[in-house]
Chain A
Amino acid sequence: MKRTLQLLFIIVSTYAFSQPTYTISGYLQDSATGEKLIGANIYTESNLDGTASNNYGFYSLTLEQGEYEITYSYVGYQLVTKNVTLNSDQEINVSLSPSIGIEEVEITATTSQSVKSSQMSSIDISVESIKKVPALLGEVDVIKAIQLLPGVQSGTEGASGLYVRGGGPDQNLILLDGTPVYNASHLFGFFSVFNADAINNVKLIKGGFPARYGGRSSSVLDISLKEGNLKEFKGAGSIGLIASKLTLEGPIIKDKASFIISGRRTYVDLIAQPIIRELADGDEFTRQGYYFYDLNAKVNYKISSKDHLYLSVYSGDDRFYQNQEPYSYLYDGVVFTNEARSNLGWGNITSAFRWNHQFSSRLFSNTSVTYSNYNYQVKNYSESIVESAESVTSEINSLNFLSGIEDFAGKIDFDFIPAADHYIRFGANYIYHTFKPGASVYQIKNAEVGDIDTTMGEDFVRASEFYLYVEDDYKINNRLKANLGLHYSGFLVNDRYYNSLQPRISARYLLSESLSFKTSYSMMQQYIHLLTNNNIGLPTDLWVPATDEILPQRSHQLAAGFSKSFGKMYLFSVEGYYKTMDNLIEYRDGASFMSSNTGWEDKVEMGKGWSYGGELFIEKKFGKLTGWLGYTLSWTNRQFEVLNNGEIFPYKYDRRHDIAIVTSFPLDDKWFFSASWIYGTGTAHTLPTERYFGANNSYFGSTSRGFPFTDVSGSNTPFTSELEHVDGRNSVRAANYHRLDVSFQKTKEKRWGEVTWSLGVYNLYSRKNPFYYYIGYDNRGNRALRRVSLFPFIPSVTYNFKF
């Protein structure tokens, strides 16, 4: 408290006793579309360390009275420079035009911003970069691109999980226009729910968390959707092997209101139908298949220069179905008719209503009301009718299983920029959670036996979560800059209140114009857990709240490193981190999500984890050849008192070495090439290593009379059975993982727009990377360790168009 007051005093006195200052503020947008530019640089020629536009394109730069040349720059856009006589507050809105070439000073500003920012462990990745990364089946995937960054693991082959610096998939705050997304996967995690055509900006923070973020322990993935073209009607789309997309955007009122709508659907079910029917011996009555879709829609309305409204909605669903249409057969004079339908589905709906308001040139606010719903449902229905000469009987069985999580939330965030040396943010957030941990409704209708209607499982749990925060990005002197913040959060569930005051500190010290040392400390607390099967991203992954028995998760992370720009084109960063995690949960031995009758708290154990390592990141954003190299050396372990005999064991996704090389360059005017090579040492698996005769639990106690293995009838038969010994959790290392993906793109201008053909190959040399292992038999009948691999060489072709 004392330090906080001291800090406030310094801030106020700095502001009170400086020279007269005035503020230039306004918005930066794309001149062609009106899209707001996030993170654009605004600086004076004499001092490249100016400011950056916020998530809504707003900027504010306070300087002493005088004459200035203000430069506005953003990657991929032409510079704009304005001469400003600063003797009063001024509003300057700037439109930047896309450029073909990149100017040197823009490169310098971009790389300089990375070196000079107090934020570390953070990467902004452009949608253009994401689209260049070769993708599985040609489906551009935001999450898959993120997985190529250092410190981020993907989990199993093809999965869309994020395991950041040793954390689990539930420890990532994934925000879509400020709304949390609870399950970001289609098709068991092989594709993410994010449609790159609808996205404006992607930011990943792995450490040094600013105080404005909270509720998760390991990372923040902040995704902003596009707002829609304010100038003219545009469209883009693609037709791929398994899915197609279409995005339409345009003005509702030119320069004032716009919309964007973007949809994607797979047609695997249509393509696979004949194959499935063939596999089912031509069964005409059964239809089965799978599809997913997602839809993003957004409307924005600029009420005035000070007020702006947004409404965005996301809806996405995955569905497996098997429908057996009614069919009848005659047997022994009796007609039997059967019908059955099975349906497994999961999906998200999110929506956000936001209001930006500019109070003054130095104070900006964003107020949001959001809704997020993730649910997973299994429906099973069958009906059988038996008709004989004497009677007609019928029986209907139905089973509905539902689980999920639903949030209603409201928040307000302020950006207050009182001086050039301070960028203050503060705000508050409230979330009303409804947890649906899993309930089954089982019904039987049978006139002879009677009806059954049973609900099993757990009741809904309702909880309130809130947080308050304040942070200041404070330029202490020409070399030292720090982001100092406090995040206070609380959680109320079943009359139990948890709370936490979390300090957040990150700082950078400029060693030279192109080299800085950065360090950070963050404490994070999260009040929700994800019960997840460690082997595959199943939709049955369950979000559950902290309870009396299961405490909130907490992490402490310390990081330090250097950031350097080389020759203006290259950015180099090296970081080391150490993170501890408390109150993690894992399924106990033998537990499974399948036993829905058992309360989830009975299935888990609480323990701790820690992760430490180093990350190297070299990035080239400009020039013909662009891309990055990421390398991570890390250790991640867990310890649970009840699991693994209380001994430390490696986390399943503990990879000692992880390398990603991503590159792209134009071959000529029309052809573009990109490639990515990924290498990771083996993840940890739990496999039996030995087998032996072990006493089983049958026929024990008084059922045995002197001979421990006598059965109840008295025969002298030993009752041991063959057991498999597991050394310990995650004690066996899988084979190393590596693959090469390539993609060629050919672009052709048309009268109506632009067409790009993408030809790609996933896993070019068809490496049989491990998906999972089991002990089985080889083709000679010998016991063998069997490896199942998922994706060999997979070509893809995608037709992309823009108009």
Chain B
Amino acid sequence: MMIRRLIYIFIIPLVLLQVNSCETTEKIDDFPLRPAKLVVNCYFTVDSIWEFQLSKSLSVLDNAPLKYIDNAKIYLFHDNNIIDSITQPDNDGIYRSTAGTPVSGGKYAIEVRSPDYTKALYAEDIMPEIIPIKEVDLKIIDSTFYRDPMYDEVWGDVNGSINVTFEDPAESEDYYELSVYSNNEYYDYYDSTLHVNRYKIDFTSNDPLVETSGDYNTTLFFTDEVLNGQNYKLELDFEDWNANGNTKYEVELLCLSRAAYLYRRSIREYNQSSEDPFSEPVVIYSNIENGFGIFAGYNTSNHVVSLF
């Protein structure tokens, strides 16, 4: 709200200035009107099915809607050996492979060809090794709960800290993404079923790994530059406004490939900057040659602790 007020204060004088301004449609002679390119989106992880979404890009000035591609052929490689070629998409441009599932440490590549495009799309990435969470230590600093008399359930808010311990391998460059989920199991009397309310919780941290100390985060991106080879304990402070008697906190530590890390960080910046007219534009990372999108691997380690 504070930021919106600040934005509002700036908008007023700029609107005053706009009284004498005018807008026209521009034709810049060398404004790049680029031809369409292939776009592929694929995250792969251990034991996941290979799935690729293929579509095509358009010039920013093209009025046509974005479309999926259904006539492409995807060649999938593992350690430079072709393991599958996929031609038949499902709806919405999803191509699936039956060639097995990715394995940790594997090097994978794709080549995508389509008769409508002269240049093939190419991308490669590795599947990072899993880095397990060794320990999660939950401490409650403050909490306030009330009992809902109608449904005999306990709800409230919790102020606490979660300490996450993991060991970074010294021999590799590692990229991480960390989130904490709250899973609240509750009984819905309307449809008489048990539901799980799952959401990310906000946390702050004074740890040097956290770039924006003092800011609330729901996702933490960091590398092993500072903690390479260490048994590291990351301390996070959180508030959960919607806890109940069945709440479980799930810490998810993703080990990302470098491409996944750069891409996901740039997407987060892109989303955040879209709300701020004064922010610097974001160049979204891509590891795709002759196209856009992302082809990247990740691995997941989870650890669950109960609130009670």
Contacts and interface: CB of A to CB of B under 8 A. Distances in A.
Interface of A: 188, 272, 275-276, 288, 290, 320, 322, 342, 344, 378, 380, 399, 401, 440, 442, 456, 533-535, 538, 586-595, 597-599, 602, 643-645, 682, 686-697, 700-703, 706-709, 712, 718, 720, 722-729, 731-735, 768, 770-771, 773, 775-776, 778, 782-792, 794
Nearest to B254: A701
11 contacts: A290-B16, A595-B215, A690-B37, A697-B219, A702-B300, A702-B302, A708-B43, A768-B24, A782-B63, A787-B24, A788-B22
B228 to A, nearest CB: 20
B23 A726 contact: no
B179 interface: yes
A696 B6 CA distance: 28
A638 to B, nearest CB: 13
A733 B284 CA distance: 21
Contacts of B2: 399, 440, 442
Contact of A723 (B6, B10, B280, B284): B284
Contacts of A784: 25-26, 61
A591 B26 contact: no
Contacts of A342: 5, 8-9
A701 B215 contact: no
Contacts, number: 251
Q: Which 4 A-B pairs have the closest CB atoms?
A: A590-B269, A592-B279, A692-B57, A590-B273
Contact of B25 (A593, A696, A786): A786
B278 A533 contact: yes
Contact of B280 (A592, A696, A722): A592
Contacts of B41: 693-695, 708, 720
A788 B23 contact: yes
Contacts of B10: 344, 538
Contact of A789 (B24, B27, B68): B24
Nearest to A718: B92
Given A690-B57, A735-B28, A701 B179 contact: yes
Contacts of A534: 280
B21 A789 contact: yes
A792 B24 CA distance: 12
Residue from B31, B37, B300 having most chain A Cβ neighbours under 10 A: B31
A694 B25 CA distance: 28
Nearest to B49: A706
Contacts of B76: none
Nearest to B273: A590
Given A692-B66, A693-B41, A792 B20 contact: yes
B270 interface: yes
Contacts of A722: 66
Interface string B267-300: 1111111001011111111000000111000101
A701 B252 contact: yes
A720 B49 CA distance: 18
Nearest to A790: B21
A614 B24 CA distance: 34
B281 A693 contact: no
Contact of A696 (B37, B63, B271, B278): B271
A533 B34 CA distance: 29
Contacts of A768: 22, 24
B213 interface: yes
Contact of A401 (B6, B26, B59, B294): B6
A690 B59 contact: yes
A708 B42 contact: yes
Contacts of B116: none
Nearest to A645: B283
A362 to B, nearest CB: 55
B55 A697 contact: no
Contacts of B252: 701-702
A310 to B, nearest CB: 37
Given A692-B55, A720-B53, A724-B60, A697 B300 contact: no
Contacts of A593: 278
Nearest to A712: B198
A743 to B, nearest CB: 20
B78 interface: no
Contacts of A276: 16
Contacts of A773: 26
B219 to A, nearest CB: 7
A318 B31 CA distance: 38
A686 B215 CA distance: 28
B212 to A, nearest CB: 5
A320 B12 contact: yes
Contacts of B214: 456, 597-599
Contacts of A456: 214
B51 interface: yes
B201 to A, nearest CB: 14
A491 B81 CA distance: 59
B26 A694 contact: no
Given A687-B60, A695-B43, A696-B271, 17 more contacts: A322-B12, A344-B9, A591-B280, A594-B279, A595-B276, A690-B57, A692-B55, A708-B43, A722-B66, A725-B292, A731-B32, A775-B61, A778-B25, A786-B25, A787-B24, A787-B26, A789-B22
B58 interface: yes
A702 B196 CA distance: 15
A344 B28 contact: no
A12 B2 CA distance: 66
B276 A380 contact: no
Contact of A589 (B32, B263, B280): B280
A732 B280 contact: no
B3 interface: yes
Contact of A697 (B31, B51, B264, B285): B264
B26 A785 contact: yes
Contacts of A694: 39, 41, 267, 284, 292-294
B62 interface: yes
B60 A787 contact: no
B292 A692 contact: yes
A595 B217 CA distance: 14
A594 B276 contact: yes
B266 interface: yes
Contacts of A588: 269, 280
Q: Which of A588, A690, A706, A729 has the most C-beta atoms of chain B within 10 angstroms of its own C-beta? A: A690
Contacts of A533: 278
A580 B285 CA distance: 29
Contacts of B177: 701
B191 interface: no
Interface in B45-75: 48-49, 51, 53, 55-63, 66, 68
B30 interface: yes
B7 interface: yes
B138 interface: no
Contact of B28 (A589, A597, A733): A733
B273 A592 contact: yes
Contact of B26 (A735, A783, A792): A735
A400 to B, nearest CB: 11
A188 B17 CA distance: 10
Q: Could you say which of A401, A702, A734 has the most chain B C-beta atoms within 10 Å of its C-beta?
A: A702
B137 interface: no
Given A689-B32, A691-B60, A726 B283 contact: yes
A706 B20 CA distance: 55
B211 interface: yes
Contacts of A275: 19
A773 B49 CA distance: 43
A590 B39 contact: no
Contacts of B302: 702
Contacts of A783: 60-63
Interface string B233-277: 000000000000000001010100000000110111111110010
